[in-house]
Amino acid sequence: AADPVQAGRLLFEAAEVKKRKLVEAIHGTLSPLSKDYSDAPLKTEAMIFNRSYLVDKGQEPLFDEAVDSVATEFEDILTFSYIGPLPGYSFVNIELNQGNFAMVDKSRKLLQLPEKASWGSIKSAYRQLILAHHPDRNPDDPQAVQRTKDLVAAYGIVKAYCQSLPGFSEEGTPSEFSFAKEAVEQAFIVDDKGVVLARVKGSEKPT
């Protein structure tokens, strides 16, 4: 009689091989249209693929078509969930456990901002740095992609800090935001939907 344990192991291994081949096929179609990618944990046992792709804006229509193509190709065996485009800093794994000031101050310095800056000047500084360091403008620089990721992450953190302050507006206001330690440590780090991501230990959430 066949060993049920051995049979189960063989079935599992065959399923894993099939999963790997599917992931390789999907990634092989999407990867050439992206600058980079980042894997996230699988949320269920049925999920085989949870990956974010960093795509130039000009490539988005082609990337959408590629996603439609693989979704159609594998529609009999896979269900696709495609979310995007998301803000650039969503692609980067931002660590939000350093404490507000260390995190915000490091990001401010990376963006070459003074200790007080308006939202308009922050956006302007970020755009200039992204243009200067973007991989498309530095094709021979192997560090260009990482520098761009770091800038995108820093901008996301600085924006989150500014969003937590009174008077913030996407359109920009003449008022300046303080990046002094005492100001930052009174603030909360929030995302675009106002969800608190990090705060100083012992502080209370404002009502």
**Residue ending a domain, choose from 34, 69, 85:** 85
- Residue with the bigger pLDDT between 117 and 47: it is 117
Query: Do 146 and 72 share a structural domain?
Result: no
Query: Do 136 and 76 share a structural domain?
Result: no
Query: Do 125 and 71 share a structural domain?
Result: no
In a domain, 206, yes or no: no
What tens digit of pLDDT does each residue of 89-130 get? 455 444 433 356 888 899 999 999 999 999 999 999 999 999
- Domain containing 64: what range? 4-85
In a domain, 172, yes or no: yes
In a domain, 135, yes or no: yes
Res 194: pLDDT? 44
**Residue ending a domain, choose from 54, 85, 116:** 85
In a domain, 34, yes or no: yes
What tens digit of pLDDT does each residue of 140-180 get? 888 888 899 899 888 988 888 887 777 777 776 678 899 99
In a domain, 205, yes or no: no
pLDDT confidence tier of residue 198, bands split at 50, 70 and 90: very low
Res 190: pLDDT? 47
CB 97 within 8 A of CB 198: yes
- The H-or-E segment that residue 8 falls in is helix 4-30
Number of domains the chain contains = 2
In a domain, 150, yes or no: yes
**Residue ending a domain, choose from 50, 85, 120:** 85
Q: Which of 27-41, 63-77, 91-105, 163-177 has the weakest average pLDDT?
A: 91-105
